[in-house]
Structure 1
């Protein structure tokens, strides 16, 4: 007889769980906040960000300028040739009081040559600038993807949090209905009935608050992906990070080759080339000109051919200002590269320690705390229906179970966000598109 009672009690305890799962699914499918909203996986979100993110598009917009600078630097000569033409009308007085009109013309060609190797230095600077621009784009793409994954994980976490809160809400509402019947039958006091109603209302308020936070998180994700204003995406996927295929040494090696550091290396080389270019500019450029023309009367035309060479003397201005600015730029980039390299390594080590601690905490919650709380919640529901415990004991068990689930979900969320920050700081190539 006792076994039959326990079997029926277990079945009655499982029915609310199934009903809760169905209600949660219907809420996600039929809620107006989610109606017509796209369901995105993380790969879908990355693809949309690669195409429409403003920060990434702004970084890509710098490529034409760098490519144009390189095309100019690769020209055979930096200075364009100069062509000059002159035509004159000369009136020559004659002895017979008449005037002879002579029409004369000349044609000239001049070219300025750099004599201190500026052409090769300028090409090197342009090539390094273009390489730095491409590395900045790669780094921007990594940062955008990391931000997309972080916001995606927050949306996913809030969706799971709402499901958990709704499960507890339904359990509390079932308990409140049972207490209401007992109060009507005179088995429980009005205080228990009021307590049950207040607890149910608090649970509903918590669910409503989480739904507001979820809408805000989805709006932030939609803004990052540049989706239409009326489309707030849903997240589909697993919150827990997959097994990590790297160690701390792997991450530190990857950090040394991070696109941000490579961009600084290219910028340093470009700044060094510009400094060499400004120093070479102290040497004067030589301008060579060739002229030809016709002068004199028609019956005695004179053909003139001339060769000219001009060379400015660097007496008063020796390009000291430009050299100083280039030296400052080169020194500042060196300082930035050294500081960034140190900060990246320190950030990777700190995030690795945080990731390790979070993973250990999450494993403890999964293996020891949460199973006991779930078992207590199931047994308390059975005991409450059997009249063995009161409402206060039931609510206490539900609150403990909910707090344990919240702690686990918070740990899972923080672990995922820390993993994203760790791989972004180390420049880890986790996807084929970024390799």
Structure 2
């Protein structure tokens, strides 16, 4: 009886666990996704960050390897073949690096490691900016779908009002044809907005590492736009931007390579210590020697010249990075301030006024005070204002993402 009850208990436990997992998945899907959560998911799951992290780990290991001394060489040599007339030599050859080669090699490896670390930080910052852009593109696409749905509903309301006035003989049937055309245009716009939303959700889902078909996004009001930071403060941040810092590290790395090529011009010495036995004399004697290359044909001059040229190029790249950071931040700052101001103006003044005009015009048409063309104009003005509002918000968030891409977040997560 105990075994049978246990057999019944196991499926029950499995079923309970399955139901719990399914409930957890449904709960996770039902929770709206906000911007901080999207950034955290992308930072955790995106393969580009994992690849950069592996490269940073590999570069750190290369620094340790660069500090290793060269291995000694064990040599065995026999001269002669007849017993009693042979000479046997056993020796150890140890290369001795001169000219600071080991320190130069370590400096090159450290420079490469710092570059890999900067690349990881740059990818993380770029991914953050991409998520900000994609998140608000999806959010605005949601709003445009809702706007298009409202347009279709209002077009249906207008068509019903026109049909009633046509049936009463108060307006021409041509007005009904205009209303049907307006309704068809609204449906086409709804289909376009729905397709754009699907594309935006797919792009955001690729960044955060999960499908977002059934998950809502949280946020998106105009007032959620952060205030613009003064340009002078942004330019101060530009001096320490990751792109500028990486260019500076690239210059240090190239200079370390030039130092390594300069050190390579100094020949290394090989120290030999061993023992030699002469069978004919029946005695053993010590062997000590030094070997040094003669730099007659190769003094590493071309490699040194190439390294110096690359160092000069890295210095020019640093100047270009500083210029790009300043000009890019200035342009993004101007775009953000303009788009944010436009979005606030449309949200608090233009859109409410256009909505009021549209409602009054539609009511007046029902009482015969306006032509249906006036209704269409008021409706078009209202929805164009809403569309401009969402476009201004999207422009502002994209400029904000560009600021974070160039200068990083004002308060890093």
TM-score band w.r.t. shorter chain? 0.7 to 0.9
Q: Which residue of 1 aligns with 2:59?
A: 66
Q: Does residue 204 in structure 1 map to residue 187 in structure 2? A: yes
Q: Measure, in 2, the Cα distance between the counterparts of 1:285 and 1:129.
A: 25
Q: CA deviation at 1:244?
A: 3.0
Distance 1:130 1:55 in 2: 18
> What secondary structure does 1:362 align onto?
helix
The residue that corresponds to 1:220 in the other structure is 203
Residues in 2 aligned to 1:356 and 1:328: alpha-carbon distance in whole angstroms? 42
Alignment of 1:314-329 (within 5 A): 314-329=295-310
Deviations 1:300-344 (A, max 9, x none): 621121101011111111001211221121111111111110121
What whole-Å deviation, never above 9, does each CA across 1:280-318 have from its counterpart, x for those lacking one?
111110110101133316xx6211211010111111110
Deviation of residue 86 (structure 1)?
3.9
Q: CA deviation at 1:60?
A: 2.4
Gaps of 5+ in 1: 1-35, 92-99
Residue correspondence of structure 1 range 132-281 to structure 2 within 5 A: 132-227=115-210, 234-240=216-222, 241-244=224-227, 246-281=229-264
Contact 2:228 2:336 in 1 (8 A): no
Residue aligning to 2:36: 43
Alignment pair present for 1:83 and 2:74: yes
Shift of 1:264: 1.5
Gaps of 5+ in 2: 1-28
RMSD: 2.3
Equivalent pairs counted in the alignment come to 384
What is residue 27 of structure 1 aligned with on the other side?
none
Asked if 2 retains the 8 angstrom alpha-carbon contact of 1:268 and 1:333, the reply is: yes
The answer to whether the aligner puts 1:431 opposite 2:412 as a matched pair is: yes
When normalised by structure 2's length, the TM-score is 0.86
C-alpha distance in 2 between matches for 1:407 and 1:265: 42
Give the TM-score taking structure 1 as reference length: 0.82
1:253-402 aligned at under 5 Å gives the runs: 253-296=236-279, 301-402=282-383
Contact 1:380 1:394 in 2 (8 A): yes
Q: Is the 8 A contact 2:140 2:220 kept in 1?
A: no
Distance 1:69 1:82 in 2: 23
1:1-35 CA-to-partner distances (Å, cap 9, x unmatched) read: xxxxxxxxxxxxxxxxxxxxxxxxxxxxxxxxxxx
Q: Measure how far apart 1:155 and its partner are.
A: 0.8
Compute the displacement of 1:88 (Å).
6.9
- Tell me, in whole angstroms, the C-alpha distance in 2 between the residues paired with 1:350 and 1:245: 13
Classify 1:106/1:38 alpha carbon distance in 2 versus 1 (closer, same or farther; 3 Å).
Answer: farther
Q: Secondary structure at the match of 2:290?
A: strand
1:130 pairs with 101, 113, 127, which one? 113
**Structure 2 counterpart SS, 1:112:** strand
Q: Where do 1:9-48 residues align within 5 Å?
A: 39-48=32-41
Distance 2:261 2:392 in 1: 56
SS at match of 1:288: strand
2:45 & 2:79 partners in 1: Cα distance?
62
Distance 2:207 2:340 in 1: 29
